[in-house]
Amino acid sequence: MNMVQALNSAMDNMLERDPNVVLMGQDIGYFGGVFRCTQGLQGKYGEHRVLDTPIAEGGMVGTAIGMAVNGLRPVVEIQFADYIYPAIDQIVSQLARLRHRSAGSFWAPVTIRAPCGGGIRGGQTHSQSPESLFTHICGIKVVMPSNPYDAKGLLISAIEDDDPVLFLEPKRLYNGPFDGDPDKPAVGWGEHPHGEVPEDHYGLPLGIAKTVTQGDAVTILTYGTMVHVCVAAARALGVSADIIDVCTMAPLDTDTIAKSVQRTGRCVIAHEATRFSGFGAELAATVQEECFWHLNAPIQRVAGWDTPYPHAFEWSYFPGQNRVIAALKVALES
Amino acid sequence: MGRRSRLHIPQAPARPGDRPDFSYLETSPAGAVARPNIDATCQEIEPISAALIRVLGDDDSAVGPWNPQLGPEDLRTGLRHMLMTRIFDERMLRMQRQGKISFYLKSTGEEAVSVAQAMALRPSDMLFPSYRNQGLFFARGCNPVELMCQCLSNTGDMCKGRQLPVLYHWKEGNIFTIAGNLAIQAPNAVGWAMAAAIKDEDNIAATWLGDGSTAEADFHNALLFASVYQAPVVINVTNNQWAISTFQAFAGGDRGPFSTRGLGLGVPGLRVDGNDFLAVHGVTQWAAERARTGAGPTLVELVTYRASAHSTSDDPSRYRPDSEWDDWPLGDPIERLKKHLLALGEWSERQHHALQSELEENFKTAWQEALGFGTLTQGPQLSPDSMFDDVFKEMPPHLAKQRQLLRKTES
Ligand SMILES: Cc1ncc(C[n+]2csc(CCOP(=O)(O)OP(=O)(O)O)c2C)c(N)n1
Ligand SMILES: [Mg+2]
């Protein structure tokens, strides 16, 4: 399966086994979503379980919270992560805090799905990676898969989780892995081991990072599209890298990260989002706290530049293999 | 058994395979709707707020109180700008199909909205468009080469390669920068208008958003602030029936026309045949004069039809009948104005063809000129360095450092 099919399969499984699961979003019902993630689901489960909504992200999340408080398990699709901002007050002030401020009396198991990231010539309003805005909020989990197998398992766990989850989908990976080189012919998920996705229900635990490649020279902490870029960069440089796909940014799997860096003594952090106050800053701080006495070199960060995502300079902006390699060299040589 | 509530799920009138069905559309004959005084109260206007204002009759004549009484020269100018918009859209779509530009979005079928409205406003009035108002730029005299360069993200691009095609701006022409985020510009227009009032100037602001976009809170914020402060603004809802695959009923369009959304706040509304150039002009003139003379804001709904796909990323045959546009009861705005001019004896088929060829020729030349500034992949290129400009007025040290790093990795 590609990632779109894997996500579709996760929602299909959940709609089937739990009558409380409902989907909401713009163009998701009759049309099946602009990325086709919900194709066929309204036909199968009806218009009362797969709801087309008005174009009002604040209204979508706000009503999803109400539904969740009344026993449903809504999955809201934000058409692009770049359009989540009208919902920010509902997410920050209600969704993430209900449980805490009502001392456990109220909670809202809402999952918010949002395609994120660039590499599709989408300009500044179809390319953003806003994860760190949300990891800074206490009470909402933040997840980003990097392949179809993980996408399905993590989405199922997100929907089943009793806490709210922001589930970010790197849209550049929907149809195939991407190593950061836009000039190479596109490849599908067919050949990739993680393109193998069971039809049946399965969950993957939230809050657990995954080791993508094992190595001992350096640890690379990354997630989403950048996982594939980092694998290609390490291979190109011929370096034995321990590449960790963070998978869940909040809550963070500090253990896996610390064990790896304590072993390698070197750490490069890579994400597509802008650098300043990006999630890499949290990762770097964590590594510093957990591994300071094991570090042989300063931690390196590779990230999008601190500018809006430019349409024309997508590939100068995107932190491709060159930038990862440059950071690896610094980490390895110092 | 007692009765229970059940969700109402709005339905599109027709889906692929169905016959188009526009029986839901309430119209009225040309000339049938009264024209209130410029300073009438919202209550006085309310009785006509849901009626469809039309000027151009079935016999191609202009009738009724909303006729703006434009001379033939103005009518020909309007026709020219609408035709420009259409031909430009066609050409740019072809360029996208050929891979010259990354994305495009047409306004086909909606040309009267932008062109007639821009003509009814003063050049010093500030416009806050959505992404489907390219006609505003032509009506205000923007050089098409500038628009083409923006679509090409080349060295002549007003946005310096930073924006998706079509998200233009034109500072000299008083047209605000277009955002991809729906409805976000509406409160900005109201604020601009409030500033004009604070500064005691008589310029007004106008903004446009789609039927689907009225769902966003920003539309309601705009109405509220316009109402509370009686800001000199015209808020236009272009109801082209569709928001990508979603029928306008999902924005509440089956509960009453968008023109009536402001009534509870005391913002009068007018609903106009958006494919009737003269009616759009007349209504806009009325609303503009009302705003300019201190009588307050107006909400205008322009009833039209999105004849083409939402964008080059969209395939409407998946969600609506292919032939809907042929059956659209309000016709084609260009055809209708052309027929009116023909009926007046102020236009001929020969002139029309000549105009068409002239515009096509002009755009061909303009395109060549635009290509001279490069494309995304060929010819002169903007320096990627430039993406660090304008994040702030003065570049902070961390951006200067990143620019340095970029130069190093790209060299
Ligand atoms: C805040 C926000 N949410 C979602 C989108 C995605 N989107 C782009 S256009 C569109 C439909 C808009 O329809 P309408 O307002 O009717 O304008 P039209 O395209 O018909 O001119 C949607 C949902 C967006 N651009 N911004
Ligand atoms: Mg619309």
CATH code of A26's domain: 3.40.50.970
> Whole-angstrom Cα distance, residue B255 to residue B272?
18
The pair of three-digit structure tokens given for residue B153, joined into one six-digit string: 């993200």
pLDDT digits (tens, 9 = 90+) for A73-96: 999 999 999 999 999 999 999 999
Structure confidence at residue B1 (pLDDT): 59
Alpha carbon of B392 to ligand 1 centroid (Å): 29
Nearest CB partner across the interface for A310, out of B161, B182, B212: B161
> DSSP label at A300?
E
Counting every residue, how long is chain A?
334
- A131 and A235 in one domain? no
pLDDT digits (tens, 9 = 90+) for B354-394: 999 999 999 999 999 999 999 988 999 999 999 999 999 99
Average pLDDT over residues A271-290: 98
Q: Between chains, do A305 and B406 touch, taking CB under 8 Å as contact?
A: yes
The HSE-up count of residue B90 (CA atoms within 13 Å, CB side) is: 13
Structure confidence at residue A334 (pLDDT): 78
Query: Ligand 1: does its nearest atom lie under 6 Å from the Cβ of B244?
Result: yes
Q: Calculate the alpha carbon distances from B48 to A78, A86, A123, B211 in Å.
A: 37, 33, 42, 20
SS3 A243: strand
pLDDT digits (tens, 9 = 90+) for B218-250: 999 999 999 999 999 999 999 999 999 999 999
Nearest CB partner across the interface for B406, out of A55, A275, A316: A316
> Whole-angstrom Cα distance, residue B299 to residue B236?
6
Which residue is closest to B377 within chain A, CA to CA? A312
**Which residue puts its alpha carbon closest to atom 6 of ligand 1?**
A79
Index of the ligand 1 atom closest to the CA of residue B105:
19
Among A119, A149, A173, the domain-final residue is A173
The pair of three-digit structure tokens given for residue B176, joined into one six-digit string: 């605000």
> Whole-angstrom Cα distance, residue A151 to residue A168?
10
- A219 and A168 in one domain? no
> Considering Cα of A24, then A63, then A58, then A92, what sign does the dihedral take?
negative
Alpha carbon of B241 to ligand 2 centroid (Å): 5
Alpha carbon of B182 to ligand 1 centroid (Å): 6
Average pLDDT, chain A: 98
Task: Number of A to B CB contacts under 8 A, please give it.
Answer: 123
Alpha carbon of B250 to ligand 2 centroid (Å): 11
ipTM for the complex? 0.96
Q: Choosing among B216, B315, B389, B405, which should be mutated to test the A contact, i.e. which has the most A CBs within 10 A?
A: B216
- Domain B42-380 fold is Rossmann fold (3.40.50)
Mutation test residue for ligand 1: of B213, B220, B242, B325, the one with most atoms within 8 Å of CB = B213
- A143 and A271 in one domain? no
Measured CA angle at A209 (ends A203, A215), to 5 deg: 130
> Whole-angstrom Cα distance, residue B300 to residue B315?
29
**Which of these is catalytic: A100, A126, A271, A294?**
A126
Is A183 within a domain? no
Please state, for a pLDDT cut of 90, what percent of chain A lies above it. 100
A262 pLDDT higher than 70:
yes
Average pLDDT over residues B5-30: 97
> DSSP label at B326?
H
pLDDT band at B409 (very low <50, low <70, confident <90, very high): confident
* Closest of A39, A45, A40 to residue A15, by C-alpha: A45
pLDDT digits (tens, 9 = 90+) for A289-330: 999 999 999 999 999 999 999 999 999 999 999 999 999 999
Average pLDDT over residues A34-56: 98
pLDDT band at B410 (very low <50, low <70, confident <90, very high): confident
The pair of three-digit structure tokens given for residue B341, joined into one six-digit string: 């001019």
From the CA of A55, the nearest ligand is 1
pLDDT digits (tens, 9 = 90+) for A2-13: 999 999 999 999
Average pLDDT over residues A20-49: 98
- A247 and A125 in one domain? no
Query: Ligand 1: does its nearest atom lie under 6 Å from the Cβ of A83?
Result: yes
CA distance B311 to chain A (A): 12
pLDDT digits (tens, 9 = 90+) for A96-126: 999 999 999 999 999 999 999 999 999 999 9
What residues have a C-beta under 5 A from ligand 2, the ion?
A: B 210-212, 240, 243
The pair of three-digit structure tokens given for residue B58, joined into one six-digit string: 């079935």
Average pLDDT over residues A151-177: 98
Residues in A touching B382 (Cβ below 8 Å): 312-313
Domain ranges in chain B are 42-380, 383-411
Is A299 within a domain? yes
SS3 B368: helix
Residues in B touching A326 (Cβ below 8 Å): 408-409
The pair of three-digit structure tokens given for residue A66, joined into one six-digit string: 């109400």
Beta strands in A125-186, from DSSP E residues, in sequence order: 141-143, 165-170
> Whole-angstrom Cα distance, residue B289 to residue A313?
44
> Whole-angstrom Cα distance, residue A60 to residue A62?
5
The pair of three-digit structure tokens given for residue B323, joined into one six-digit string: 């032939």
Average pLDDT over residues B28-33: 97
Question: Structural domain of residue A287, as residue ranges?
Answer: 210-333
SS3 A139: coil
The DSSP string of B202-253 is ---EEEEEETGGGGSHHHHHHHHHHHHHT-SEEEEEEE-SEETTEEGGGGTG
Index of the ligand 1 atom closest to the CA of residue B131:
21
Nearest CB partner across the interface for A56, out of B157, B216, B384: B216
Alpha carbon of A64 to ligand 1 centroid (Å): 20
* Closest of A79, A85, A2, A82 to residue A35, by C-alpha: A79
Catalytic, A311? Answer: no
Query: Ligand 1: does its nearest atom lie under 6 Å from the Cβ of A55?
Result: yes
The pair of three-digit structure tokens given for residue B325, joined into one six-digit string: 């546009």
Task: With both helix axes pointing from N to C terminus, report the angle between B277-292 and B333-344 in degrees, rounded to the nearest 10.
Answer: 100
Index of the ligand 1 atom closest to the CA of residue A27:
23
* Whether A225 contacts A318, CB under 8 Å: no
Q: Choosing among A274, A302, A305, A314, which should be mutated to test the B contact, i.e. which has the most B CBs within 10 A?
A: A305
CA distance A168 to chain B (A): 19
Strand (E) or helix (H) holding B270 = strand B269-273
B276 pLDDT higher than 80:
yes
Index of the ligand 1 atom closest to the CA of residue B239:
16
> Whole-angstrom Cα distance, residue A184 to residue A178?
9
Average pLDDT over residues A8-20: 98
Domain count, chain A: 2
Is A198 within a domain? no
Measured CA angle at A61 (ends B261, B5), to 5 deg: 70
Structure confidence at residue B103 (pLDDT): 97
Query: Ligand 1: does its nearest atom lie under 6 Å from the Cβ of B310?
Result: yes
Among A112, A147, A173, the domain-final residue is A173
* Closest of B98, B104, B86, B243 to residue B164, by C-alpha: B104
Q: Choosing among A313, A316, A318, A325, which should be mutated to test the B contact, i.e. which has the most B CBs within 10 A?
A: A313
Is A273 within a domain? yes
